[in-house]
Amino acid sequence: MSEFFSNYGFLRLDNFLEKQNYESVLRVARKLRWQKLKQPDLFSYSLGKVNKDFVQEFEFEELANFIARFVKFKEMNLKLKLYSHRDYTLVQKKNLKAEFFIYFPILAKPRRAWEDRFGGYKCYVDSEGKSLIFPVKKNSFALLNGRHFSGFTKYVNHLATKSSLFVVEGEVL
């Protein structure tokens, strides 16, 4: 994995969290308070407040140790974001060593999957204009080298109806 990340600048892993851990995090996320944030020329999403329950379920230290296997960093910042219909982020240049995310789709109908045609997926572009798309798959994790890639969250369209996409997003400095 380290070699892959070193060569290609990204890493993607499915079934990242243990099933029980994933479901605990999702359960806590459903109870979070969300604050709507919008700067129309940059982003629109809801930001969740990290609380004690979340910290307990998420195992930050284990995640930080895992990421340290690929990137040396001084600081890791986590954000809990909720993307629903009309939410998005646009490409911004950031001075990061790396960024990562984990998808937690919250579906209006449990048997319905989050489809690519809804939007909401992460897309990263490198300096040559080549793009990497990460389809929404529950419990999938991705780590991107911040020097090589700039990312955005594709606009969530009305096909998502009442489903939302909870994403744990992190920046590593």
Select from 68, 113, 159, 173 the one that contacts another protein (CB under 8 A).
Answer: 159
Select from 21, 59, 107, 157 the one that contacts another protein (CB under 8 A).
Answer: 157
> What phi and psi values does residue 70 have, to the nearest 5 degrees?
-115, -30
132 binds another protein (CB under 8 A): no
Of 21 and 157, CB closest to another protein: 157
Question: What contacts 100, CB < 8 A, 6 or more positions away?
Answer: 67, 141, 142, 143, 144, 169, 170, 172
Buried b (16+ CB within 10 A) or exposed e, 82-116: bbbbebbbeeeeeebbbbbbbbbbbbeeeeeebee
Q: Kindly state the smallest distance separating residue 90's Cβ from another protein, in Å.
A: 5
How many residues bind another protein (CB under 8 A)? The answer is: 17
Q: Kindly state the smallest distance separating residue 91's Cβ from another protein, in Å.
A: 5
The whole-angstrom separation of Cα 129 and Cα 99 is 18
Residues 28-87 that bind another protein (CB under 8 A): 39-41, 86
Of 72 and 158, CB closest to another protein: 158
